[in-house]
Structure 1
Amino acid sequence: MTTRRDVLAGLAAAAAVVASPTRAAARGAMPRGFLWGAAISAHQSEGNDLNSDSWLLENLPETVYKDPSGDACDSYHRYDQDFAIARSIGLTCYRFGIEWARIEPEPGRFSQAELDRYAKVLASCRAHGLLPIVTYNHFTVPLWFAKRGGWEAPDSADLFARFCERATRALGDQIGMASPFNEANIHLLAKLLRMGATPDYRAKRTAMIAAAARATNSPGFSSILFADPDRIDAHLLQAHAKAYQAIKAGPGDFPVGVTLSTQAIEPVGENSLAPRIEAMVYGDWWDVVNASDFVGVQAYTRVRLDAKGMVPPPPGAEMTAAGYEYYPQALGHVIRLAARKTKKPIFVTESGIATDDDSRRVAWLDASIAEIRRCLDEGIDVKSYIYWSLLDNFEWTQGYGQHFGMVAVDRDTFARKLKPSTQHFASLIRRG
């Protein structure tokens, strides 16, 4: 029988994984201390994030979101159940977010009730034998922050650091690992993807932000997924630096790193734009990684570029339900990229597939973990595999139509139903 002492000992070992080299294991097995996990975000799973910018955008008549988030997965109330499911699979860590819009619903007014609730969430995570890996900001911000210009505002970094300081003061002694941002370079990836956006979509996006500005009487309404990347990049870099210092001030003594969107960028033919685009997508964020404690890579597919721009997947390529190429080999590509760019510990903090055919999720898990195994055999010290996502949840502008989860969620009753991929993942973990 597993005792609480066994659980706490396991957590202590997991927390030490960043600070020391991972002990080698027999060829074909993962190293001792390797973290197995799943990831989710607050807005996408908790539900009813009423004070956030995304909640407003989702519910405008002019919205580009296919569904509003609504109750989401009701993880706000059902987090114990989610942690129990994660532990039943054999996971040793769980990556999730704390929601800024709940904790600071008005500028400078922090909700002690919400901080107390997140303290309970963290305690539950640990009680289930899971190392809590906390994201302080996963795209969404308080509505008041968006109304005053979001990340375009010159003092946005200071406001974010204030939130991080207050949240850490309340929660830091329970956190196992953390990152200020999810996919800190998401705005730069968006800059690339917008190159292929249709004029109709650009017009609808512009109309939605204009409607949000009218609804809030704000001439400068700004939301990260729709903002001008060139207007927010410098402020996000400053925000990470200040948040890092605020979080490291404690309480708690845990690693604070950078998670990046690290899709494989591959050249096609001569004079490919791939090197230039790769430099654009990462900007100065590798320098930020080198001033932090670890890097989290998050890979889903590849982007292919010739001398003119993006090219479509090869003829006959399998596509996921998210509309991009099924390409788990991207994970090995980006782990090797990270190993070239930094000597910091490398964690896989997201990797997953949108599909309604769970056998393809099983194949994705096999292929992704095989990529990690190859990187380990090459001498790259990879610390984790964290699947996105535990639950079928709200997928931003795509609403509820895309299913990344290993666990299905009934949209009316919120009943959780484990898919066969959970048992396959559990068997992989048992085999090491």
Structure 2
Amino acid sequence: MNSSPLTFPAGFLWGAATAAYQIEGAAHEGGRGESIWDVFCRVPGAVADAHNGDVACDHYHRSAQDVGLMRDLNLAAYRFSISWARCMPDGVTPNPEGIAFYSRLVDQLLAAGITPWITLYHWDLPQALEDKGGWAARETAERFADYAAVMHEALGDRVRIWTTLNEPWVSAFLGYAAGIHAPGRQDPAAALAAVHHLLLGHGLAVRALRRQDPEATLGITLNLTVADPADPGRDGDLDAARRVDGQSNRMFLDPLFRGEYPADVLADVAHLGMAEVVRPGDLDIISQPLDLLGVNYYHGDAFTKDPAPHPGPAGGAPASPLVAADGVRQVPRGLPVTGMGWEIQPEGLRRLLNRLQREYTGPAGVPIYITENGAAFEDVPDADGFVDDQARLAFFDQHLRAVHESLADGVDVRGYFAWSLLDNFEWAFGYHQRFGLVRVDYETQRRIPKASGLWYSRVAASNALPAAGG
């Protein structure tokens, strides 16, 4: 057994991530307008126990405290999203008070020696734009570029790293096809239009930001998976894995890095009219050079499309309602699972990173950052509110070892952001699923670092993982 710590490259960036609607609260303060999540949370049954993000972690009022917490945890970078509805309540008109909140936050981070890493969009579209068609409408992509330019004008003198979108797959497929995320629509054709307009919005925003600041570091964050056939010897399972990989991974990677949608995926969805929303020149806009690719990884899955039975019970939700319509379903493999029921598969992260380097980022010379990785478990606080979350600690340790193995394989990974800094509002799950390095007592808003947070702090400070078994 190797008894030496696993050291990461000099300058490897250690951080944690959050999202505006999940932590900020102050939903009706400072001129903030409604987002699609404010409206969706009022739909009966849409969110666990009718929860919403009106208060969440009250970060809007406690940002200075939270930045101090980040400093104490030895974080070098903080990835956070901007609420479009707070800064432009109608999606178009700037709100100085909302913009000022983020300006203060950036100043607080810089004063603490923490790099601000901005995500312009983490799922909370202004409801005013949804009322005009949302991401299924081309105009939303154009408004997104305008919003990006406004935010850069306000913060670009201090913020060097900008990512456009977080997980456009979720926005499009869970929001517009499955209806389990805001805006709650169930229209597969609208979902595919949203895919294209999200990517077009990314490209238009990159173009706008490059005009304002040619030296800015620009990227996008994708949630990517490892889709395996449940049985590699079954043609149906091979096709199921191809379909999931196509719609979850290649549907976004290929236009960004190759300037084209994958032909097999276009054939799979030809009946849904996606070709009608793609205009000449769009893919040139989408495929502008990137300075980084953010990768969110939580788990992979095995899939089947074969009517013959597989060992074990049938699995949970498929990768999207579009592949479900093609008869694709997940097959559990007996791996340990998180509190969300997601399989724990750290070796999948190594496979994913190596594939990205080989097929996409390496040829393009684009570095990778792990922008989200983490796990929800049933946290049990002691009498003082401390959580000894050894399962989450082990999850981080295992996945960081997979990252280290990918580095040894030659993959250009330059940083890692734990999801999440704080327990927070977890979308349709409300506050029942906790991912935080830090426990939040929602009644008192007290923050208490967990065992995993203290461990991660030591890893970040030393730029190394402890020896195996240490």
TM-score normalised by L of structure 2 = 0.76
> Please, what is the CA RMSD of the aligned residues?
2.4
Please say if residues 84 and 91 of structure 2, whose CA atoms lie closer than 8 Å, have aligned partners that are also in contact.
no
Paired letter, 2:412: D
1:320 aligns with 2:338: yes
Q: Can you list the C-alpha shifts for 1:261-291, whole angstroms capped at 9, x where unaligned?
A: 1122122212222123211223143431563
1:36 aligns with 2:14: yes
Note closer, same or farther for the CA distance 1:152–1:188 as it changes in structure 2 (3 Å cut). closer
Paired letter, 2:203: A
In structure 1, the partner of 2:153 is 169
Q: Following TM superposition, by how much is the alpha carbon of 1:254 offset from its aligned partner in structure 2, in angstroms?
A: 2.2
Amino-acid identity (%): 30
1:71 aligns with 2:38: no
Please say if residues 175 and 185 of structure 2, whose CA atoms lie closer than 8 Å, have aligned partners that are also in contact.
no
Kindly report which structure 2 residues correspond to 1:317-396, keeping only aligned pairs within 5 A, or say none: 317-340=335-358, 341-343=360-362, 344-357=366-379, 358-396=389-427
**Structure 1 counterpart of 2:204, from 230, 236, 242:** 242
Kindly report which structure 2 residues correspond to 1:38-57, keeping only aligned pairs within 5 A, or say none: 38-50=16-28, 51-57=34-40
In structure 2, the partner of 1:285 is 253
**Structure 1 counterpart of 2:438, from 399, 403, 407:** 407
Question: Alignment partner of 1:256: what SS?
Answer: strand
Q: C-alpha separation between the residues in 1 aligned to 2:408 and 2:186? A: 37
Note closer, same or farther for the CA distance 1:30–1:226 as it changes in structure 2 (3 Å cut). farther
Note closer, same or farther for the CA distance 1:193–1:150 as it changes in structure 2 (3 Å cut). closer
**Structure 2 counterpart of 1:268, from 227, 230, 238:** 230
Q: Can you list the C-alpha shifts for 1:170-201, whole angstroms capped at 9, x where unaligned?
A: 1111213111110133246649995xxxxxxx
**Structure 1 counterpart of 2:293, from 292, 295, 309:** 295
Paired letter, 1:276: R
In structure 1, the partner of 2:193 is 231
Question: Alignment partner of 2:255: what SS?
Answer: helix
Unaligned runs of 5+ in 2: 29-33, 258-286, 307-327, 380-388, 464-470
Note closer, same or farther for the CA distance 1:29–1:419 as it changes in structure 2 (3 Å cut). same
In structure 2, the partner of 1:254 is 216
Please say if residues 168 and 195 of structure 2, whose CA atoms lie closer than 8 Å, have aligned partners that are also in contact.
no
Q: Can you list the C-alpha shifts for 1:376-406, whole angstroms capped at 9, x where unaligned?
A: 1111111011100000000000000000001
Note closer, same or farther for the CA distance 1:310–1:349 as it changes in structure 2 (3 Å cut). same
Q: Following TM superposition, by how much is the alpha carbon of 1:256 offset from its aligned partner in structure 2, in angstroms?
A: 0.8
Please say if residues 296 and 349 of structure 1, whose CA atoms lie closer than 8 Å, have aligned partners that are also in contact.
yes
Q: Following TM superposition, by how much is the alpha carbon of 1:76 offset from its aligned partner in structure 2, in angstroms?
A: 0.7
Question: Alignment partner of 1:387: what SS?
Answer: strand
Question: Alignment partner of 1:155: what SS?
Answer: helix
In structure 1, the partner of 2:65 is 81
Q: Following TM superposition, by how much is the alpha carbon of 1:224 offset from its aligned partner in structure 2, in angstroms?
A: 8.0
Q: C-alpha separation between the residues in 2 aligned to 1:224 and 1:384? A: 35
Note closer, same or farther for the CA distance 1:348–1:226 as it changes in structure 2 (3 Å cut). farther
Q: C-alpha separation between the residues in 2 aligned to 1:376 and 1:147? A: 45
Note closer, same or farther for the CA distance 1:192–1:116 as it changes in structure 2 (3 Å cut). closer
In structure 2, the partner of 1:60 is 43
Q: C-alpha separation between the residues in 2 aligned to 1:72 and 1:185? A: 24
Aligned length, in residue pairs: 383
Question: Which segment is superposed worse, 270-279 or 56-65?
Answer: 56-65
